[in-house]
Amino acid sequence: MIDVKDLIEQPEKYRASQQARGADVSLVDRIVEADASRRASIARFEELRAEQKAFGKRVAQASGEQKQALLAEVKELAAQVKAAEAAANEAEEALLREQRAFPNLIIEGIPAGGEDDFVVVRQVGTPRDFAAEGFEPRDHLELGELIGGIDMERGAKVSGARFSFLKGVGARLELAIMQMGLDLALENGFVPVIPPTLVRPETMQGTGFDVQHDDEIYRLERDDLYLVGTSEVALAGYHADEILDVDVPVRYAGWSTCYRREAGSAGKDTRGIIRVHQFNKLEMFVYCSQEQAEAEHARLLEWEETMLQAIEVPYRVIDIAAGDLGLSAARKFDCEAWVPTQGTYRELTSTSNCTTFQSRRLNIRERVAKEDGSGSNAKKGGTRMVATLNGTLATTRWIVAILENHQNADGSITVPAALRPYLGGLERFELA
C-alpha cells in the first residue's frame, strides 16, 4: 500500500504518478477525503468516550433520583458511543479499501504510457543471420521434439492445453539452467528456499495481487488457498508481521513450480512452451532498507544479465512504462531474448522495485536507530517499513531462447559452454 500520510502531504506527486500510469487520478482526492472522514469519525468517537467516562464518575457520586436520571443519560450516551465506534471502524475500512486499490508510487524518471511505451536501455549481442548460414531456423517446439526434449501432445492428453512434458535432454536442460542460476545466487549471498506453492488469500493480497478479480490466479475454493504464479508471493509473506535487521540486504532465492491461467492470452503463443499454465522458476527476493532499494535493483538486473550472457543469446533490457507496471512495482526492468523464428525479443527475466508497497500491506519493518545524545552509541528507536524487490534468474521459458539461438542445420543443438558442466560435459543435443 501507499503511505497515506505522504499522499496527504504531497498529493501532486501521487497525481503525477497516476497520470503517468494512465490510472484514475481522482483516487488521490478520494483518499484525502476518506482520511479526513476517518479522522473526524475517530475524533467524534473519542470525544463521546471521554464524555462517557466523565458521566461514569458523576453516576458513582450521585444517589437517589439524580442517579436514576444520570443512568438514563448514560444509557443514551452508551448508544451514541457504540454508533460512533461503528462509524469510526467503517471510516477506517473505507480508507483501507481506497488505499489497497491505489497502485505504488512510481519512481521518478520512468517512461509514462502503456505496454508499447517502454524505453530500450541497452541491446546486447547480434541475432544470427540464418540465411547467410544457408538454412531456415526451426522453432523451439520442432527442435524440442527432434531432440526428444519436449512433448506437448502427451502434456495435453494428461492435463489439457498449455501443459507439456519436458523429458530427456529437455528436463536436463531446465535443471541445468536452474542450477547455474542457483550457483550465481549463492555466490552473491542469497539463501536458497523451496517455498510453498499454495498460499493464503492474505498472503496473495499482501503481495499486491487482486484475488477477487485477477483471472490469472488459480484458486482452490474448498481450502481457500491460491496457487502462486511466482515464489515472490510466498517469499514476501515469509516475514509478514516481523521486524527485520536489513543493515545488510536479506536475499532469498526461491526455486518453485509456478501456475498461471494465462486467461488474457487467448490465441497468443499457443504453440510450444512460451505461455504455459505450469513452469519452474528461480526467483530472487530481497528485503532491504529504503535507501538501499535502487542500488539493489541495479544489482538484481546485473545478475539477470550475467545469466543471459552465460547462455549466449542476444537480448535487450527495457525500462517498462508506468502504465504497464503491476500494482506493486514502482519500477521494472525486463530482459528480453531474441527469438529467431518470431523475429522479435521476448521476455525472459523481470526485476521490480516494489519500494515499501508490499511491506506496508504485510507489516514488515526494520528498527530505526535513535541517537542517545552522546554522539556514539545509538539506541533503538521506532520502526519503519522495509523495501522489497524481486527478479528472475531462470525459468522454463529460457529453453525457447536456447534451442532457437543455438540450433544447427540438422536440428541438433549446440550447448552453451557455461551450461556444459551442469550437463556432464555434454556439448551437443543430438537428434533423438
Catalytic residue among 260, 299, 361, 365: 260
- List of residues 6+ apart from 412 with CB closer than 8 A: 146, 147, 428, 429, 430, 431
Catalytic residue among 261, 347, 367, 430: 347
Catalytic residue among 49, 128, 261, 275: 275
| Eight-state DSSP code of residue 418 | G
Q: Name the residue among 127, 181, 124 with its Cα closest to residue 317.
A: 124
Is residue 121 within 8 A of residue 343, CB to CB? The reply is: no
251 is catalytic: no
H helix runs in 152-200, sequence order: 152-159, 169-187
User: What residues does 123 pair with on adjacent strands?
Assistant: 316
360 is catalytic: no
Q: Name the residue among 219, 220, 157, 225 with its Cα closest to residue 196.
A: 225
Catalytic residue among 21, 138, 162, 397: 397
Q: Which three cell numbers stand for residue 185?
A: 545466487
222 is catalytic: no
420 is catalytic: no
Read off the amino acid at residue 354.
C
H helix runs in 209-362, sequence order: 232-237, 293-310, 357-362
| Eight-state DSSP code of residue 198 | E
Catalytic residue among 164, 350, 352, 359: 350
- List of residues 6+ apart from 430 with CB closer than 8 A: 147, 412
Q: What share of the chain is helix, strand, coil (3-state, %, to 5)?
A: 45, 20, 35
347 is catalytic: yes
Q: Which residues are catalytic?
A: 260, 275, 347, 350, 397
